[in-house]
Amino acid sequence: MAFPDRSRISRRSLLKASAAGGLVATTGGISATFGQGAPVNFTSWSAAVDQVRSHVSAFERATGLKVNYENFPWAQYRTSVVTRLVGNAPMDVLWVSDAWLPEFAEAGWLATIDDVPELMKYNADAAQFCTQSMVYKGKQYGLAYYGDHMSFIYNTEILQKAGITTPPTSWEEVVQQSLKIKQSGGPEFPMLMALGIDTWLIEFMSALVFAHGGRFVDASGNAIMADANRGVVEAVSWVREAIHTHKIVSPGAVETTEINALRAMGAGQHAFAIVPTYRLRALNDPSQAPAAGKLRPALMPRGPRATASATCGWIRFYGMTPGAKANAGRRANAVRFMEFFGGKDTTGSYTLQKLLLTDVGLPFCTTPLSADPEVQAFWTRWAGGGDVIAQQAATAVKKDVIAPWFGEWNETANAAWQSVFLNRATPQAAATAMAAKWKDLKG
């Protein structure tokens, strides 16, 4: 019932595949024995669409397989995907956020790839942080699409005008420099924060908490977020004071989403911001941002008790559905697709990973690529060098609130953060509410 056209499609694409002739014979010889005429159903959110499409074209040419590529807007993505998973819509490979891994794995919506050596071999080339982020309860669930972290960036021109020579290294310094910038006729709100209710909020807040040397939960997964001096309360207090005491962050920040913040930063309206590192590419592109060339990364400022500059990292990855894995033909195709996209393509290189970086700015998880001269030229061109970013990436910590109940907890957390930013609740009260919800959900 759900696949009325299955046989027709397979026949048509089989014909196509045989028409492709020689190519299929050389590259797809073995898996052809599985009778894999069916297309690969690939579902993603609508990011890097042109890069993905061009790689899909390459995949279709190289393998003779057909790809049904569908994308949904990021904000609707989880709902759309869950509807399709529950409704048994045809899906083989999909993009997954690290935040959903436990939930999806527990629900049986993702297949482990531990027993797929063709994919597991890429772990040897992958940054440890990335691989760990795809592991849940000891099993790995995919190959990386990209891995990134939150970067602290500053506008060199605005700092210069205010007579500031080096970017801040502590949050205290962020306040002082911001006040100095305000006094010397710079922007009214030197520090830009995107505190609107948005999927990025937890990543911003995690970056701030980690930069304060803090954590939300301890090693055994129990909430420590409400404990004073464990990071959360300090980080939230800093933001509240930045808005209400020092007035260096706009009170409109509570309705500013990540994308809107980006526009303002690119327009040169603020001195400091925390952004996903991949946005540096767009922010320093003169055709997109008036402030291009002036926006540079610095190490994340530290909180009073932090011993090192830390930030929050995340990854997004290719996952396979259990439905695809259970069927030999679909499984073979899905594996080839995942390898071609998340590993090396049939030319033996990490083509897409490089494309995603140079076109869109998305950092990769495949360490060998870092030595590539084009990659190094990229960082020099768009970020004034790759050292700070590499150094910061090494300190990236994955969101420690990732759990099967993350989504529900995050709803409470979002409201709690905002109540502090609006000065409607104390940092301690908000942290306590979050901790209570965590305990409740953890059971």
CB–CB of 120/144 below 8 Å? no
Which 399-438 residues touch another protein, going by CB under 8 A?
Answer: 404, 407-408, 411, 414-415, 418-419, 421-422, 424
Q: Exactly one of 75, 308, 377, 390 binds another protein (CB under 8 A); which one?
A: 75
Q: Exactly one of 157, 173, 255, 372 binds another protein (CB under 8 A); which one?
A: 255
CB of 423 to another protein, least distance (A): 10
Q: Is 50 in the site for another protein (CB under 8 A)?
A: yes
Single-letter residue type at 373: P
Q: Exactly one of 259, 328, 377, 394 binds another protein (CB under 8 A); which one?
A: 259
Closest CA to 261 of 310, 189, 161, 315: 189
* Nearer CB in complex with another protein: 173/285: 285
* Nearer CB in complex with another protein: 125/359: 359
* Nearer CB in complex with another protein: 108/221: 108
CB of 420 to another protein, least distance (A): 9
CB of 239 to another protein, least distance (A): 14
* Nearer CB in complex with another protein: 91/334: 91
CB of 331 to another protein, least distance (A): 22
CB of 5 to another protein, least distance (A): 11
Q: Exactly one of 46, 166, 367, 376 binds another protein (CB under 8 A); which one?
A: 46
Query: Quick one: which segment of 66-74, 161-169, 176-184, 222-230 binds another protein (CB under 8 A)?
Result: 66-74
Q: Is 254 in the site for another protein (CB under 8 A)?
A: yes
* Nearer CB in complex with another protein: 170/237: 237
CB of 34 to another protein, least distance (A): 27
Q: Exactly one of 21, 290, 304, 368 binds another protein (CB under 8 A); which one?
A: 290
Site residue total, another protein (CB under 8 A): 80
Which 96-125 residues touch another protein, going by CB under 8 A?
Answer: 103-104, 106-108
Q: Exactly one of 66, 84, 212, 316 binds another protein (CB under 8 A); which one?
A: 84
Q: Exactly one of 21, 35, 221, 252 binds another protein (CB under 8 A); which one?
A: 252
Q: Exactly one of 26, 57, 229, 391 binds another protein (CB under 8 A); which one?
A: 57
Q: Is 237 in the site for another protein (CB under 8 A)?
A: no
Q: Exactly one of 287, 307, 348, 373 binds another protein (CB under 8 A); which one?
A: 287
Backbone angles phi, psi at 316, to 5 degrees: -125, 145
CB of 424 to another protein, least distance (A): 6
* Nearer CB in complex with another protein: 126/192: 192
Which 188-217 residues touch another protein, going by CB under 8 A?
Answer: 196-198
Two tokens, residue 305: 């008790």
Closest CA to 205 of 186, 244, 243, 232: 232
Q: Is 250 in the site for another protein (CB under 8 A)?
A: yes
Closest CA to 397 of 314, 316, 317: 314
Which 335-394 residues touch another protein, going by CB under 8 A?
Answer: 355, 358-361
